[in-house]
Amino acid sequence: MVIDCAGRPLVASQPVVMGVLNVTPDSFSDGGQFTSTARALDRGLEMAAEGAAMIDIGGESTRPGAAPVSVQQELDRVLPVIEQLLTRLDIPISIDTRHSEVMVAAISAGVGMVNDVNALRAPGALEAVSASDVAVCLMHMQANPQTMQDSPVYDDPVAEVRQFLLERVQACQSSGIRPDRLVIDPGFGFGKTLTHNLQLLAGLDDFASIGVPLMVGVSRKSMFGTLLGRAPDQRLPGSLAATTIALERGAKIIRCHDVAETVDAIKVWSAMTAQLSEIN
């Protein structure tokens, strides 16, 4: 399986890792731009060395209660990191944004994928991607980042998230985006209770019939805080357990912070799978 990321193909015949690179003052606390750019660059290079197949760069926190960021601020944060990583790495770079202006600028700078927690529903977003040759990850979110965790409600989370993603895939295809540029993601934690997240994890195999590769992001998320009572930096074991379940149910791209550890988990799963099909 190959995802066409504007000339940097993402080969996902085996599941792969997308490393999370936040370029925000909360993760790289300093006053000026230089230090956060330099630190993000170092971390990006480190994640690539650890085996990330792709790096997802974001400059806006979607956490409930996070300070709003202007489009200009978002661009000032992400563009220098995108430009420098593109010259130093061969793997595709992804831009994590909901804003079409940021998509347009990042696409011009050379990213290979738009990762949109809003699934291209913002004004101009679908147009920005369809006018280019980048790939797009369409993620499900109920409500918006400010309100999504207030009281999420579903009748059947798997069916409803699946239907939403199917409709967004169809909207992309109607705009001329071919299926080999599409990725879907159920959006763990985005307008979901712990129970909803567990129901989605259990039902991930239902998303395969949409016919585009499945991305999953559970890394360090609050579902493990709720379930295990652990702080974000103590959630790796829980994250790896959920990742293994996701792999077993068909996930092809794992979005995570802990790249080296997640690559190991994928190697274990892949070795078992190869044994099953007697390739080895």
What residues act catalytically?
A: 221, 255
* Phi, then psi, of 31 in degrees rounded to 5: -70, -50
CB of 62 to ligand 8Y4, least distance (A): 5
Rounded to the nearest 5 percent, the helix, strand and coil shares of the chain are: 45, 15, 40
CB 107 within 8 A of CB 75: no
* Residue 259 interacting with ligand 8Y4 (CB under 6 A): no
Which residue, judged by CB position, is nearest to ligand 8Y4 in the bound state? 217
Determine the 3-state secondary structure of 61 from DSSP: coil
**Binding track, positions 208-227, relative to ligand 8Y4; x by CB under 6 A:** -------x-x--xx------
- CA distances in angstroms from 39 to 30, 83, 114, 224, listed in the order given: 10, 14, 22, 27
CA-atom Rg of the chain in angstroms: 18
Distance from C-alpha of 45 to C-alpha of 73, rounded to nearest angstrom: 23
Of 24, 36, 37, 115, the one binding ligand 8Y4 by CB under 6 A? 115
In the complex with ligand 8Y4, the residue whose CB is nearer, 8 or 221, is: 221
Find the part of the chain contacting ligand 8Y4 (CB under 6 A) among 29-37, 75-83, 142-150, 181-189.
181-189
Determine the 3-state secondary structure of 176 from DSSP: coil
Of 255, 259, 261, 266, the one binding ligand 8Y4 by CB under 6 A? 255
In the complex with ligand 8Y4, the residue whose CB is nearer, 80 or 145, is: 145
Give the residues lining the site for ligand 8Y4 (CB under 6 A). Answer: 58, 62, 96, 115, 117, 137, 139, 185, 187-188, 215, 217, 220-221, 232, 255
